[in-house]
A and B are shown apart, each in its own frame.
Chain A
Amino acid sequence: MKILVLNCGSSSVKYQFLDMQDEKVLAKGKVERIGMDDAIFEYKGSAGQEIKEVTPILDHNVAVRKVLAALTDKEHGVISSPDEITAVGHRVVHGGEAFSGSVIIDHEVKRTLRALFDLAPLHNPPNLTGILAVEAALPGVPQCGTFDTAFHSTMPEVAYLYALPYAMYKRHKVRRYGFHGTSHRYVSERAMQLMGPRPNLKLITCHLGNGSSLAAVMDGKSVDTSMGFTPLEGMIMGTRSGDVDPGVFPYIMSREEISMAEISSMLNKHSGLLGISGISSDMRQIEEEMENGNPRAKLAFDMLEYRLRKYIGAYAAAMNGVDGIVFTGGIGENSPVLREKVLRNLSFLGITLDEVANLDRARGERRISGPDSKVEVWVIPTNEELVIARDTRDLVLQMQQGKDQREPDLVGTTAD
């Protein structure tokens, strides 16, 4: 079974094509600047074949057809006909309260996705555009949606509600949804496999990248996460502030004489590592400048570490204990300095560090806590595409086995 995984943004499509026999990536790439005359198409096959061209790609329909053409290309392709594509899996950002797992996309699902546009006005519309583009290019091929929010649908009320008037939740569905769910799910499942079966395993997964979030995962279920109604809450990120007292917004707005749209832009694009350091949103550059003795870079690093530490502490308290901590994402996987700093500051949890394993950049999945550590600490590179492909495979198999279609097509949020 071969599955195409798509992540459609407003002007981009990222794709991976996997053979589910051995879960091998046959090809991957991206289309950028969709809608422009100088759009960029990139394709990499598993045998090292590459395509990179700058060409007009007017919309997502053209982009999807371009991907299919490359996959079936005589010279660079990996399949001989689009018929070999069994199914297509999509990353969908917001599932609201409607989706607690991946689903086969049908009319009803599309209608629900439209209804969710208000909750994710930037992300859900292009996700649906991608779904419609595949429908046009590959009629009859089943499509599956995997939601960034789904893994966190197990959060209890005490964790997902804001202490606003309850009417805000009832009327407008204002609550915490959480994001990066597919990543938290993947790394927590991997950690459970790596750590061996234990009842009530308590994990804290730290997805630290351009956007960052933590999740408290108990017995395979997300019980809390740091992003909320939008991906702005929680951690200090590349350009996002994370938690801020909402009381400062009217004050800043009147002092700077700026509008709601401008304050939103300030919080999303001008804050975080970039806002504090004034240098960069990129952790690598912050660390470099910190080594050069730049005090603002050090401050940004220290603030991020402090926020991270507070969240780990909070989630250990939320679960009344912690058995494992997992680092993933661009920063989580590649910043031994941050990992070391935060773990040394968490010695009260009985954590010790395996310095060699921590510094070893070449190895992928590895345990970085010492043998005597009371909490296991792991680095696990995330793989969201694989989760989407697996869910798509499972749903398609279920469908083929002619399961009663009246039952909701949900694929588990727990380990296989």
Chain B
Amino acid sequence: MAVRTWGVLGTGPLGRGIAELAAAKGFEVIIWGAAAADLDQARRIIDLALQQQIERWAITESEKRATLGRIRFTTDLAQLTGAQFVVDASSSSVKEIQERFRQLDELCDSDVIFSVATSTVSVTEIAAATQRPEKVIGCHFLPPVTSTRVVEVVRGLKTTDETVGDVIGMLCNMDRVGVEVFESPGYVTTRLIIPLINEACAVLMESVASAEDIDTAMRLGFGMARGPLETADRVGLDNILLHAERLWREYGDQKYRPSPLLKKMVRAGQLGVETGEGFFKYDAEGNRIKPQLGGSL
């Protein structure tokens, strides 16, 4: 089925990012939130994000207007019957997500694909709540959603090849590369980046090198756009800690055990870009505040 309209559940950073991306790529978007106030805030933040894109020369005023014009906001789940592709990007519990999909299952056409964007819920578990488990899939968008080109496309137990193909094809048309993964804690990206960040914390804690030098070594040594510590700051140290604890729990392997430094920083509320300080300092727009050159010379 040709997808023209996306239904996005959730108004947090993930939901907003997905809504903005889909709208920018020409889809109509209906974004659902639990409360009108959440939706108002989402609208404001998306507006701001698009404004920043203009300032970075990425889009024009009229493209911003067109993108915003394609996004509708609603607190009424029934409005999502207009969508051909639904993605849950909320931070709700499994039970709540299941309940919403149970309702949508009755409201939406049978060929509408349902997907979950959060890596912490099981696609199979969500699929079990619907009459269309073959049409339920995971789409793990990595933050920042609007500029990261890879999406982990997650197969549940009953997800069909057709559904996987449809989603990967659609992502391809959005200039995104879908990587197919089977359901497994952390998939590929989370499972590999968490131990790296965790080990970087250990290196820092043992005073082997400064945060700046750890990141510089990894950036230049391995052609990374950002080092592991800045990456952690951008994802949010609280999120990193949650992922690490979950991987530790799921696999029981010591290599996922969160570094004491990470725990300490989260307890101190030093969460990264969001709070202005993590391993590094950031301004309100999320840009690194670089230490003054020459200071250490």
Contacts and interface: CB of A to CB of B under 8 A. Distances in A.
Interface of A: 11, 35-37, 58-59, 239, 256-259, 261-263, 265-266, 269-270
B4 interface: yes
Interface string B247-289: 0000000000000000000000000000000000000000100
Given A35-B26, A58-B4, A270 B60 contact: yes
Given A35-B4, A36-B28, A256 B60 contact: no
B4 A261 contact: no
B57 A262 contact: yes
A265 B2 contact: no
Interface in B4-22: 4
A59 B60 contact: no
A262 B56 contact: yes
B287 to A, nearest CB: 8
Q: B2, B26, B57, B147 — which one has the most chain A CB atoms within 10 A of its CB? A: B57
B174 to A, nearest CB: 13
Interface string B15-52: 00000000000101000000000000000000000000
B57 A59 contact: no
A256 B56 contact: yes
Given A36-B28, A58-B2, A269-B60, 16 more contacts: A11-B26, A35-B26, A58-B4, A59-B2, A239-B60, A258-B56, A261-B58, A262-B57, A262-B58, A263-B57, A265-B57, A265-B58, A265-B59, A266-B57, A269-B63, A270-B57
Interface in B98-113: none
B109 to A, nearest CB: 15
A34 to B, nearest CB: 10
Interface of B: 2, 4, 26, 28, 56-60, 63, 147, 287
B96 to A, nearest CB: 31
B137 to A, nearest CB: 23
A126 to B, nearest CB: 12
Nearest to B63: A269
Contacts of B56: 256, 258, 262
14 contacts: A11-B26, A35-B4, A35-B26, A36-B28, A58-B2, A58-B4, A258-B56, A262-B57, A262-B58, A263-B57, A265-B58, A269-B59, A269-B60, A270-B57
A261 B149 CA distance: 12
Contacts of B57: 256, 258, 262-263, 265-266, 269-270
Contacts of A239: 60
Question: What are the 5 A-B residue pairs with the smallest beta carbon separation, nearest first?
Answer: A266-B57, A262-B58, A269-B60, A270-B57, A265-B58
A173 to B, nearest CB: 22
Contacts of B287: 257
Nearest to A56: B4
A259 B225 CA distance: 11
Nearest to B66: A33
A258 B147 CA distance: 12
B82 to A, nearest CB: 9
A259 B28 CA distance: 27
Contacts of A256: 56-57
Contacts of B60: 239, 269-270
A365 B147 CA distance: 50
A169 to B, nearest CB: 27
Nearest to A281: B60
A269 B56 CA distance: 12
Contacts of B2: 58-59
A269 to B, nearest CB: 5
Contacts of B63: 269
A37 B70 CA distance: 11
B285 to A, nearest CB: 11
Nearest to B27: A35
Contacts of A257: 287
Contacts of B147: 259
Contacts of A263: 57
A270 B59 CA distance: 8
B273 to A, nearest CB: 15
Contacts of B59: 265, 269
A56 to B, nearest CB: 9
Contacts of B26: 11, 35
Contacts of B4: 35, 58
Contacts of A58: 2, 4
Q: A35, A36, A265 — which one has the most chain B CB atoms within 10 A of its CB? A: A265
Contacts of A261: 58
A239 B57 CA distance: 12
Nearest to A35: B4
A66 B60 CA distance: 31
Nearest to B288: A257
A8 to B, nearest CB: 16
B264 to A, nearest CB: 31
Contacts of A11: 26
Nearest to A33: B66
Nearest to A261: B58
A359 B59 CA distance: 38
A11 B4 CA distance: 13
B51 to A, nearest CB: 14
Nearest to B175: A261
B173 to A, nearest CB: 10
Nearest to B225: A259
Nearest to B70: A36
B153 to A, nearest CB: 23
B275 to A, nearest CB: 22
A264 to B, nearest CB: 9
A256 B55 CA distance: 10
Q: A59, A256, A257, A262 — which one has the most chain B CB atoms within 10 A of its CB? A: A262
Contacts of A35: 4, 26
Contacts of A259: 147
A270 B63 CA distance: 12
B49 to A, nearest CB: 14
A118 to B, nearest CB: 14
A362 B72 CA distance: 47
Nearest to A263: B57
A37 B72 CA distance: 14
